[in-house]
Amino acid sequence: MTPRTTNGPVAVLGLGAMGAGLAGRLLDQGIQVRVWNRTPERIAPLAEAGAHAAAHPAEAVAGTTAALCVVADGEALGDVLRGPDGVLSTGPYPGVLICASTVSPDEVVQIAGDVPSVLDVGMLGNRDHARDGELRLFAGGEKTAFEAARPVLEMLSKEVVHLGALGSGMRMKLLLNLLMGVEVQALAEASELAAACGLDRQLVLKTIAGSGFASPVMAFKSRRIAAGRFEEPDFRLRLMAKDLMLATKQAAAVGLSLPLASAAAETHVRATEQGLGDQDCAAVVRALAPKPETDT
């Protein structure tokens, strides 16, 4: 079945930092937007801006030509698509289903099943990029679905790339998050080592941020670490832990050993277990702090 072209209303399912930014961007572009979120309080600001607030995913996608799923993980994506009152609960979705949740590439193929027109899209950027249309998007799926969705994707980004078969977008996203997770942990380790050795942490972080070693992400995260400000996360630590674990599982499936990714995954999982999961991923630095000595 040829998907309807995406020149009509668009649904956004999941209104975390990225989903809310995407919905706001579409509203700014004059698109009719229908939104749903598991916790209704996040809907209010978008409803005030003109979005239709839906009670469940099936209502949100009614009459739309594209649906963006931006939920936390594979379980949530499965519920949104195939659960009670899910997108597919009343039959096939006639538009293009865009899965922008970071899940296992194999999982997105499994969840999609026999959905006629579906893309998996890896998003590179943060909430501000989403709101301002400055994301870079990497899509997997059939070419016909990609071309139908291109107008919406181009509204949301400064670059759109079709990588190939369904699952390709997630593979690219996991690679990118692997790099960020390892990089931010290396920054955190350098910061902790500096403090433990008696160097001024603030000066060290400032030096790193201004050096040739620092990527834009490292420079930005160094400011978070220097300020100890991990609330209002750009990317939650628990989601980074999930993505690093997914990357290591992908590597194992193709016979690769990724020592740096595995070590970073272990640290992020431990940090999540310590209660840091809903803070910014730069809070991994708190999982590296030396434990206080105890009397024996």
Over range 23-40, report the average pLDDT.
Answer: 96
Dist. CA 102–CA 169, nearest whole Å:
9
Tell whether the model's pLDDT for residue 144 goes beyond 70. Answer: yes
Model confidence pLDDT, tens digit, residues 251-296: 999 999 999 999 999 999 999 999 999 999 999 999 998 766 555 4
Q: Which domains are seen in the chain, by residue range?
A: 10-166 (3.40.50.720), 172-287 (1.10.1040.10)
Choose, from 173, 206, 221, 291, the residue flagged as catalytic: 173
Q: Residue for token digits 């289903």?
A: 97
Strands (E), 56-194: 66-69, 96-99, 118-124, 135-141, 157-164
pLDDT value at residue 289: 80
Q: Which H or E run contains 34?
A: strand 33-36
pLDDT band at 134 (very low <50, low <70, confident <90, very high): very high
Dist. CA 109–CA 174, nearest whole Å:
15
pLDDT value at residue 204: 96
Over range 143-164, report the average pLDDT.
Answer: 97
Q: Which residues of 22-34 are buried (b: 16+ CB within 10 A; e: fewer)?
A: bbbbbbeeebbbb
Tell whether the model's pLDDT for residue 7 goes beyond 70. Answer: no
Model confidence pLDDT, tens digit, residues 85-107: 999 998 899 999 999 998 999 98
pLDDT value at residue 296: 47
* 242 tagged catalytic: no
Q: Which residues pair with 157 in a beta bridge?
A: 135
Over range 205-218, report the average pLDDT.
Answer: 92
Average pLDDT, the chain: 93
Dist. CA 109–CA 113, nearest whole Å:
6
